[in-house]
Structures are given as structure tokens and as C-alpha cells.
Amino acid sequence: MTEAAIQVGALAKEFGGLRAVDGVTLSVAAGERRALIGPNGAGKTTLFHCITGTLRPSSGTVRLFGREVTRLAESRRTALGMGRTFQISNVFTDLTALENLTLALLGTDRRKWIVHRPIGAFAHLRERALEGLERVGLADRADRAVRELSYGERRQLELALALNSNPRVLLLDEPCAGLAPLERQRISQMIATLPRAITLVMIEHDMDVALGLADRVTVLHRGRVILEGTPAEVQANPEVREVYFGHV
């Protein structure tokens, strides 16, 4: 049995009286691609926030490659190999695409503390940042301010930022949200060609994308896991059809 990349144990998160995540236990094996689906308000994004450290869970545990990280700061989890994208593009709009990538590369690098040399002096860093942009097809946008990029390009950059922080586990929060079919295909293609060494956990509303990319699927509903299985099992399950597609 391979070591679990992510283990979530009896995790709950309350906002006031609302239990957004209500006792979720799940385990994602290293190298696995897991889709997290469920209707709006199922607690998917909240669960993500608890795993990445953006939010502290009310109770329960989070383990990353066997190591307990429940109380660890988000930046420390990133250093341990956790990477994520955001549902609403969270990129540095005032900076250029190249600067965005450079920040991603420096995040887990001690050179981020250097004050006495301009960034231009790090030729190697620039090369790697350009490579990172190339990987998502944004090489020709390197010196453009991100605020001038299209919505679709920002989604590509969003993915590039997460990939270049050198993650072993990548949590993708609706990577294709709001994209036209063609762009959607492009992003899911990019995700599909990621090396298997990176464990993927992905929230996705588009069933075709989610089921096409995932090895296994976890279905959340009202903060609880109602089913976990292969894409085929999930598609065939009547309960899922009920909560996900409503009464037919």
C-alpha cells in the first residue's frame, strides 16, 4: 500500500451555527487524481481551505504525507509540498506575468529574503519563470501586466503559479470555472499531462472534466461525504444523480 498524500480525519468547520464541513474523512493516495464533486454549498471549497491552511478546522485532523499539519501555517504547508489554485483567479494583477511566476518560484526558496541584489541578477530564475509560462502557453505574455491579460489567460497563469511552487500535492479549485469550451479543453489537457508524481485533488463542476481526469471521485453533500468510488461507479449511483442533478 502506498503512503497517503492527504489524509483528512473527521474534519469539521463551523461558521457560527453553520457546519460547512461536517465530519469529513478521506484519504488520497500519493500519485492519485481525485475529483471532489457536489452541489453548491456542499463544503468543497471550505474543505480545501482547511486542507491548505487558509482556514483552521473546528475539529479533526489533516495529514500531509503522514505528517500532521492541522495547526501548521499555510506557508509551512506549501514548503512541505502543498500547492493550490483558487476558484476566483488570485494572481498579482499589478505585476507582469514573468514577475508572477518569479514570485511562485521564490516562495519555497530561501533567496526570497535577498535584499542586496536586483532580481535581474538572477538569470537562472528568469529562465525558469519563462519556462513556467511556456508550459501554460503564456510565453509571449511575459512582460505584460497581468491586468491586461484575458480571463482565460489568467486562469492559465493561476495554474502556472501553483505548478511553479514545486508542489507534491496540488489542490485545484475549479480550474475551468467560467471558461469557454475551447479554453476548458486546453486547461484540462494541461492538467491531464501533469506528471503522475504530483497528487491531484480537484474540485470541478463540469462532470465531463472531473470524471475524465479523475481516478476516483468523492461526492460531498451538505458537508458530508456521501460516496466515494471510480467515475463509473459514481455516475451509476442513483443517490448521486439525485443530489447532484436534482429530481429527475
Applying CB under 8 A, which residues contact other proteins?
Answer: 52, 54, 73-75, 78-79, 83-84, 86, 90-95, 99, 102-104, 106-108, 111-120, 122, 161-162, 165
Q: How far is the CB of 125 from other proteins (least distance, A)?
A: 8
Nearer to other proteins, 86 or 244 (CB): 86
- Which of residues 71 and 112 has its CB atom nearest to other proteins in the complex? 112
Rounded to 10 degrees, what is the CA torsion of 32, 134, 152, 85? 40
Give the DSSP H/E element, type plus range, for residue 244.
helix 238-245
157 or 240: whose CB is closer to other proteins? 157
Cα–Cα distance for residue pair 28/47, rounded to 1 Å: 14
Helical axes 123-135 vs 151-163, angle rounded to 10°: 120
Nearest-approach distance from CB 155 to other proteins, in angstroms: 14
Assess contact for 40 and 33: CB atoms under 8 A: no
The three-point CA angle 38-26-166 to 5° equals 90
Cβ distance to other proteins smaller for residue 78 or 188: 78
**In whole angstroms, how close is the CB of 243 to other proteins at the nearest point?**
30
- Least distance from C-beta 31 to other proteins, angstroms? 22
